[in-house]
């Protein structure tokens, strides 16, 4: 069949064709007989209908921006641990188990940590973007990167460098809003804020996206992540990449744009290690080991950009989205800001006094965790605390998004946005019940940085403006990425106080 004919097909038809072709071509690494013996047991199997099992249902949900809600509904109907079956592809693809059981999460992230690495399943999919960076490696490579990166998070750096960068970029955002007429896309602005901030904090680079919103880097970063997400949901992605079809058609160009941009950052930084830029995240790596290759350092830049731009901007955007639907909470946050900050405004010492703002951020992260689904690899066959048997080579995912909506964990009002719950708790939920910053040995190193940025920015925004949605709330939709972006943006009416 010619490619010109395929272009005229409905996308569902040719994607199914490619999926079946994967079986015919034998692209998988294991035999059918072996995989039959490696099917998960002891949990609900979601089979779907037709040759490809549940895959077409997941694809349809992704197109409608309902993937996270679709899988959450599967948990509600079938149980806290589910096994997704992919029809005839089950003979050739990695078995996929998803859990929202807090016992299982603690077991895989802490108690039996060594048995659940990132592994080949994740690293192969993400290598084009993350390479050998901290989020895509295990073992000694991960330990070395984490140990060096942790040197950045000292009290002195937060107070004298990180907070200064955050304050400066908060001021730029306020100037943008004051000068703007009409509706604004706050999701776009907040992504530019966090990109500029992590650029200066992470590698001493002035990215300047708050001044220039049209950077091709911004587009490529989003498109590259969408490609990775589809790879998780489409077993035939390597064939698509080889043929240059579907979502892989432009992915190579976006990956190349990101690599070239990041490599230029490394080149510039290498010439300025004796300046303040040398004390940045990546500068510390370069000075600690001068033998590190340019390829490795380029991967480092992209890993830090992913961690420092997307997740924080998305968390603030979803928080703002929820605040605009609750005038009561927005006014309560504003009242606390006025009381704590007074006429002098916010400073670093006052951040920890904003208890209701802190509760509001934690509540929005519960409902919209920046990494809604995280994948691990089963190194050796194991039985989880809930009785699920996971075979060697399977992918085991935990779903923070579904956990945040679990009545078992949060009570009958789990679906409600109610920041007060965080002030009423006698004991805080464990990070395994609420793994929005991951948990265990790989808990997010940037957790404190993210909270400082979010508190500083939201304090500036809510303290100076009133925000109202410019579109119906049901039109604000999550994006199909590894992190929970907004495919629709966040159009707002912004009114100075």
Q: Is 326 exposed, middle or buried (0-12, 13-18, 19+ CB in 10 A)?
A: middle
* Paired tokens of 492: 């707002």
* Paired tokens of 185: 């896309």
Distance, CA of 9 to CA of 49 (rounded, Å): 21
Provide the 10 A C-beta neighbour count for residue 341: 17
Distance, CA of 481 to CA of 386 (rounded, Å): 29
Residue by residue, DSSP assigns 293-346 as: -HHHHHHHHHHHHIIIIIHHHHHHHHHHHHHTT-HHHHHHHHHHHHHHHGGG--
Q: What is the DSSP letter of 430?
A: P
Closest residue by Cα to residue 462 from 137, 173, 38: 173
Distance, CA of 12 to CA of 50 (rounded, Å): 13
Sign of CA dihedral 202, 208, 210, 214: negative
Long-range CB contact pairs, 266-271, < 8 A, 24+: 266/203, 266/294, 266/297, 266/298, 266/301, 267/294, 268/205, 269/203, 269/204, 269/205
Provide the 10 A C-beta neighbour count for residue 214: 7
Residue by residue, DSSP assigns 26-72 as: T-SSS-HHHHHTT--BSSEEE--SSTTTTHHHHHHHHHTT-HHHHHH
* Paired tokens of 395: 């992918």
User: What element of type H or E holds 96?
Assistant: strand 96-99
Closest residue by Cα to residue 482 from 235, 229, 254: 229
What angle (nearest 5°) sits at the alpha carbon of residue 485, between those of residues 484 and 491?
A: 140
Residue in the structure block whose two tokens are 């603030």: 316
Residues annotated within the binding site for heme are 444
Closest residue by Cα to residue 251 from 149, 136, 128: 128
Q: What is the CA radius of gyration of the chain?
A: 23
Please state at what angle helix 67-78 crosses helix 55-63, rounded to 10 degrees. 140
Distance, CA of 476 to CA of 252 (rounded, Å): 29
Residues annotated within the binding site are 444
Helix (H, G, I), strand (E, B) or coil at 487: coil
Give all strands (DSSP E) within 177-243, no chain letters. 184-185
Distance, CA of 374 to CA of 397 (rounded, Å): 5
């Amino acid at each position: 069949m010619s490619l010109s004919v395929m272009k005229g097909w409905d996308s569902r038809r040719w994607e199914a064709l490619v999926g079946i072709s994967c079986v015919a071509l034998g692209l998988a690494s294991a035999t059918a007989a072996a995989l039959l013996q490696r099917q998960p047991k002891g949990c609900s199997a979601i089979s779907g209908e037709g040759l490809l099992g549940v895959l077409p249902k997941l694809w349809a949900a992704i197109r409608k921006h309902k993937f996270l809600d679709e899988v959450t509904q599967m948990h509600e109907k079938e149980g806290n641990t589910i096994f997704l079956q992919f029809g005839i592809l089950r003979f050739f693809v990695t078995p996929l188990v998803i859990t929202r059981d807090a016992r299982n999460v603690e077991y895989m992230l802490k108690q039996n940590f060594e048995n659940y690495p990132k592994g080949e399943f994740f690293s192969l999919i993400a290598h084009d973007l993350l390479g050998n960076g901290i989020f895509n490696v295990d073992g000694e490579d991960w330990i070395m990167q984490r140990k060096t990166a942790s040197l950045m998070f000292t009290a002195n750096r937060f107070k004298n460098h990180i907070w200064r960068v955050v304050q400066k970029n908060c001021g730029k955002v306020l100037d943008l809003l004051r000068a703007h007429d009409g509706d604004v896309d706050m999701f776009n602005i907040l992504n530019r804020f966090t990109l500029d901030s992590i650029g200066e904090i992470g590698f001493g680079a002035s990215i300047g996206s708050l001044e220039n919103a049209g950077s091709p880097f911004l587009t490529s970063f989003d498109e590259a992540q969408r490609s990775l997400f589809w790879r998780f949901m489409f077993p035939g992605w390597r064939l698509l990449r080889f043929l240059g079809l579907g979502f892989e058609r432009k992915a190579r160009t976006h990956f190349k744009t990101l690599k070239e941009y990041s490599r230029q950052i490394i080149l510039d930084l290498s010439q300025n290690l004796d300046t303040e830029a040398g004390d940045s995240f990546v500068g510390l790596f370069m000075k600690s080991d001068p033998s590190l290759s340019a390829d490795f350092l380029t991967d480092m830049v992209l890993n830090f950009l992913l961690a420092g731009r997307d997740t924080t901007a998305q968390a603030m955007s979803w928080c703002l989205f929820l605040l605009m639907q609750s005038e009561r909470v927005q006014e309560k946050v504003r009242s606390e800001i006025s009381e704590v900050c007074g006429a002098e405004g916010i400073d670093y010492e006052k951040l920890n006094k904003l208890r209701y703002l802190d509760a509001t951020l934690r509540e929005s992260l519960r409902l919209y965790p920046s990494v809604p689904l995280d994948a691990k690899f089963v190194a050796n066959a194991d039985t989880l605390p809930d009785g699920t048997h996971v075979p060697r080579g399977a992918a085991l995912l935990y779903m923070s998004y579904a956990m945040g909506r679990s009545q078992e964990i949060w009570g009958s009002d789990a679906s409600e946005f109610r920041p007060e719950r965080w002030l009423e708790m006698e004991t805080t939920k464990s990070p395994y019940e609420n793994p929005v910053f991951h948990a265990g040995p790989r808990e997010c190193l940037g957790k404190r940085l993210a909270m400082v940025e979010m508190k500083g920015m939201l304090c500036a925004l809510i303290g100076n403006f009133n925000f109202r949605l410019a579109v119906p709330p049901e039109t604000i939709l999550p994006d199909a990425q590894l992190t929970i972006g907004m495919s629709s943006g966040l159009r707002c009416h912004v009114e100075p106080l």
